[in-house]
Every structure is written in C-alpha cells, then in structure tokens.
Amino acid sequence: MSLNEKSIKGVIFDMDGVLIDSEQLMSRSAILALKEFGVEAQPWDFIPYMGQGENSFIGNVARKYNVEYQYAMKYRAYEIYDMLVCTEAKLFPHIKETLTTLKSRGYKISLASGADIMKVTSNIKAIEMEETDFNAFVTGNDVTRNKPEPDIFLLAAERMKINPAYCLVCEDTISGIKAAKAAGMQCLGITSSLQSEVLTNSGADITSESIHILLDILKPLKITNLKKKKL
C-alpha cells in the first residue's frame, strides 16, 4: 500500500502516540485513579481500548472488574496525568517544527483527539504548542460517537473546509485507523504503540515511527494564481 500524496491538502493528527508518546503514562494514570475506586487494573487491560477516548479506555476496564464506571474515575485519571505529563511523558523529536513546516508548505493541519479537552490541553502544554497553531481543533467533547466511528475526522475536515478525500490522518491505534478509513481518508500509521504489520492490517496506507516522514512525502503545494477579472 502507498499514499497518493498529490491529492493531500490537509493533515489531521491524533494526539496521544502521534504528537506525544503518552500512552503508557495515561495507562499508569488510569491505574492509579482506578485503584482509588477499588479496581486493581493491569497495564494490558487498556490495550483493546486505545484511541477510543477515556470513557471507553477507563470505563471498560472498570467494568471488566465488575465495578460500575463513574465519570469521576476519568477526571481523577486526568488530574494525575496533568501532574505527570510535563515531566514524565516522552516527547517525540521535532514535532512542532514538522507541523510548522507543513503549514509553511501550504497544508492545513488539524488536531483530532478522542480524549476530552482537559487531557488534550495538558498534552498541548507539554509539547509547547497552542490550540491556535492548528487550523482545526477537535476533541472527544465535540462528538457523540468516538473512534472507531469517523465523526471526529469528518468534523476536522469540515472545520478545515477540505473534502475528506483530500485529507491524510496520522494515527497510532487500530480504532483510529478504522475511523480514518471510514471517513474516506488516507492514513499514516505511527508505530509508537503497535507494530507496523498490525497498523497495515488495520488499514494504514503506510507506516512510520514518526510524523517527520511527512516532510519527505509532502512537497510544497502549488498555489494557482487566479487572473483578476477585467471590469
């Protein structure tokens, strides 16, 4: 499989595992939070729910241990995560520079994370960026159906004012890749959480260990100058 790079006009980035290496830290935060509610969760319990937002990520694990899910579990996990992310999350190199360069080449960029705005804000702070750095900014709070449904990516495309067929999604989870393909978009699978073969079998068009590969793939867009109409 390969990308049709000439059709791409906008790039949509997932957050966790794509712009910041935070999946293990989120699992650890969730384990600590759930323990306060009597749940002795294990790291591998969360793997099937990666990329689906914390209501699924934490809620399904709580239910696995026969404990009713409460939103308080999620918010407690976010509180723990926020205290740790700036010092303990592993930052991928050259993230901000990559995004800035893509914008300078004429591409629109957006963030589309299934997480709540509270967590996304913590992550943005950790990678030293701001919401205004993106042409569109979508979180799990903006949609009713989270990944693997396509809603979050379709909304990002709508806010960028780009046809979904001209969008490339960067994702690191199975649910995220399925959402991208359901939205009719191309997908770059990032191997921060899962192996390349798993991402490819889930529908990723290509895989890489970093979004930095985009600078080799996406050349500057040619902007057509429209002739001014004579009065």
> Exposed, middle or buried, 196 (CB in 10 Å: 0-12/13-18/19+)?
middle
Question: Which residues does 129 contact at the CB level (< 8 Å), separation at least 6?
Answer: 95, 96, 99
**8 A C-beta contact, residue 116 and residue 74:** yes
Does residue 116 carry a catalytic annotation?
no
Q: How many CA atoms lie within 13 A of 158 on its CB side?
A: 9
Catalytic residue among 14, 151, 172, 205: 14
Dihedral of alpha carbons 118, 119, 121, 125, sign: positive
CA-based nearest residue to 73, from 41, 105, 108: 41
216 is catalytic: no
Set 16, 116, 151, 205: catalytic member: 16
Which of 8, 4, 14 is closest to 178 using CA atoms?
A: 14
Query: Catalytic residues, which ones?
Result: 14, 16
